Amino acid sequence: MIEWRYLIQDNNSELNMISYSSLNQQLKSADIGATASELHGLLSGLICGGINDDSWQPLLYQFTNDNHAYPIALLNEIKEIYQDIGQKLADMDNFSFELWLPEDNEVFARADALSEWTNNFLLGLGLAQPKLDKETDEIGEALDDLHDICQLGYDEEDNEEDLSDALEEIIEYVRTIASLFYTHFHRPQAQEKPVLH
């Protein structure tokens, strides 16, 4: 199995490397009922929805740990992941934002993790944007697509190579949608025209 590592960089210097399985193990050890994919999806949704202060932490506690704080060492690792997600989403030129999914040869595990990531992304987005259901046009269509992706299923008899190819296309599409939401909800307020009465 290939060990997927989350590389966090700042000023081109490596700060930390967290493996997917290591984070999953730490979450389990702390009795936190979320996987690394679910956690990354939730944080990505909060950021794409426009949260850019520390209000993400109580939401994280509330929706993944029954309102209990995380152990300090684990929280520090998650803070670095949170900062890295924000930096990568903001860097539109390089489009380096990636969904954090297990990268192994088990395509069914990746498909399940994609569904978990997408569900939690929608949760984070909805928490950051309570009127999300009022969105129309491109944003509304993207939301519908994400809801459909959450419902995607597979048959274990399916051809793994075909499923893997389809999965990579869907992952690429979800990355693009995340970037769309980030751009939409991070528009400078000054650009919005005042309503005249």
Residues for the chain: how many in total?
A: 197
What is the pLDDT, as a whole number, of residue 186?
86
What is the pLDDT, as a whole number, of residue 7?
45
Nearest to 18 by CA among 28, 3, 32, 30: 3
Domains recognised in the chain with CATH numbers: 5-186 (1.20.120.740)
Q: Distance between alpha carbon 65 and the CA centroid of its chain, in Å?
A: 18
Task: Spell out, as residue ranges, where the chain has pLDDT lower than 50.
Answer: 1-15, 190-195, 197
% helix, strand, coil for the chain, step of 5: 60, 5, 30
What is the pLDDT, as a whole number, of residue 154?
80
Mean confidence (pLDDT) of the chain: 85
Q: How far apart are CA 142 and CA 177, in angstroms?
A: 6
Q: How far apart are CA 17 and CA 40, in angstroms?
A: 15
What is the pLDDT, as a whole number, of residue 145?
94
CB burial class (10 A; 0-12, 13-18, 19+) of residue 116? buried
Residue 22 identity: S
Name all contacts of 184-193 with Cβ < 8 Å and 24+ positions apart. 184/139, 185/48, 185/49, 185/50, 185/128, 185/129, 186/50, 186/52, 186/90
Nearest to 38 by CA among 105, 119, 142: 119
Give residue-wise pLDDT tens across range 136-172.
899 999 999 999 999 887 877 778 888 889 999 999 9
Degrees, nearest 5: CA angle 102-106-112: 60
Enumerate residues 6+ apart whose C-beta is below 8 A from 103.
2, 4, 20, 110
